[in-house]
Amino acid sequence: MTTTPHRRNVPAPVMEPGGDQLPRISTAAGRALAVLRIAYGLTFLWAFVDKVFGLGYATPSGKGWIDGGDPTAGFLGKGAAGPFEDFYHSLVGDFWVTPLFMIALVGIGLALTFGIGMRIAAVSGTVLYLMMWSAVLPPENNPVLDDHIIGAITLITLALVAAGNVWGFGQQWSRLSIVRRYPWLR
């Protein structure tokens, strides 16, 4: 008696509104990528919360944004080194730097955690990671790679495999009329 192998863990491909076929991955891989996506999302959200309230982790108590502290001044003013040091030092105190940074943290964090706007989250997160990487060139432990580069690669990968569709709202997001009209919002 012969048996036919079951493809139980391989979901059928999903069609995006534009007609593109999404990647086909196993259920276990989809769940693992969802956990990775949510974990990255929560790291961005944690950074936002710690910088707003100065919880005593990366941001000292009493130095949070809500207390009048500047979450970007310490890193840009004292932490930046290397070939772009002068550029990053010149940003300290500019009225738009901290609000933009904080909006990026919370926006990327929410998008990743909920699995929506994965393309925007991947692009903006990659830009943010590359800026943080370039602020301290060369990295201390490895002249090329560090956690910022790995993070950027991970965000791009999560967007490419539509990781927001598992344990997230990616499919519902993709069906919104504005997202169908402007596919870059996926």
- Residue 21: pLDDT band (50, 70, 90) is low
Amino acid at 163: A
When pLDDT is averaged across residues 94-122 and rounded to a whole number, the result is 97
What does the domain layout of the chain look like in residue ranges? Answer: 27-185
Mean pLDDT within 28-40 = 97
Higher pLDDT, 12 or 47: 47
- The DSSP annotation for the chain comes to ---PPP-TTSPPP-B-TTSPBPPP--HHHHHHHHHHHHHHHHHHHHHHHHHHHT-SSSS-TT-SGGGT--TTHHIIIII-BSTTHHHHHHHTT-TTHHHHHHHHHHHHHHHHHHT-SHHHHHHHHHHHHHHHHHTBPSPSS-SS--HHHHHHHHHHHHHHTTGGGSSSSHHHHHTSHHHHHSGGG-
Q: What is the pLDDT of residues 48-59, one digit of tens each?
A: 999 999 999 999
Interval 92-107 mean pLDDT:
97
7-11, 91-95, 128-132: which range is least confident on average?
7-11
Q: How confident is the model at residue 22 (pLDDT cuts 50, 70, 90)?
A: low
